Amino acid sequence: MKAAFFDVDGTLTQNRVWNGIFEYFTTHRKRLLTHYYFLFIHYSLYLLFKVGLINQVQFRSPWARHLSWYFKGFTEEEAVKMWDWVVTKRINKIYREDVIEILRKHKANGDPVFLVSGGPVGLLERIAKEIGADYAVGTTHEIKNGRYTGKASSEPCQGKNKELFSMQKIKDEGLDIDLGESFSYADSMSDFNLLEMVGNPIAVYPDEQLSVVAEKNNWKIFPNP
């Protein structure tokens, strides 16, 4: 059995999915101090990334981990309502329809479809439900006594972890996947391990770094340059 693995941000969507979480809280006037503190910390890291002092994975991993600050204290039911809002009010407007069509073709062919992202698993599961993907692989966030604690319960699903977490999901689901015949779709160098783990890696709307690597490795690029 072959499978298809899709990154989300920049691959299935034109803009960052995380912005939908930010917009939920700013629109509802909640956790504004948390929002400003988050931006202060992480845009400082962004500057370090832009000048080359840290790489994409080092920049994005704390970002993925600290998203849990926003929904600290939420029940799972409250989080589900938040994910619903983010998907229906924001993410539905930014899908790349040409890439969604590729996903649908994999579904029509009977290929299991995985979403693999640094975003919260709950949000990815909601996106998967919306677009018809089968499995969601992402960053998990700690729940105690029925409420989110504000801490991640796993390492961020970034870099090498995209491959490791995908492999663990395959094992947990008892799937017999032929990775050599499988496909991965992603847009940035932080997805390199996700692309490299399959026999059919496809750079989708790739950033400059990934474009160079894709051409060097004779990987397909979509859309064709």
Digit-coded pLDDT (tens) for 64-99: 999 999 999 999 999 999 999 999 999 999 999 999
pLDDT given at position 59: 87
Closest by CA position to 173, among listed 140, 126, 136, 138: 136
Report whether 220 contacts 202 (CB < 8 A).
Answer: yes
Answer whether 0.85 is exceeded by the pTM.
yes
Sign, CA torsion 20/116/162/192: negative
Closest by CA position to 33, among listed 25, 23, 44: 25
Digit-coded pLDDT (tens) for 171-187: 999 999 999 999 999 99
Q: Report all structural domains of the chain as residue ranges with CATH numbers, in order of start.
A: 4-222 (3.40.50.1000)
For 169, other C-beta atoms within 10 Å of its C-beta total 18
Digit-coded pLDDT (tens) for 208-220: 999 999 999 999 9
Digit-coded pLDDT (tens) for 117-168: 999 999 999 999 999 999 999 999 999 999 999 999 989 999 999 999 999 9
pLDDT given at position 225: 66
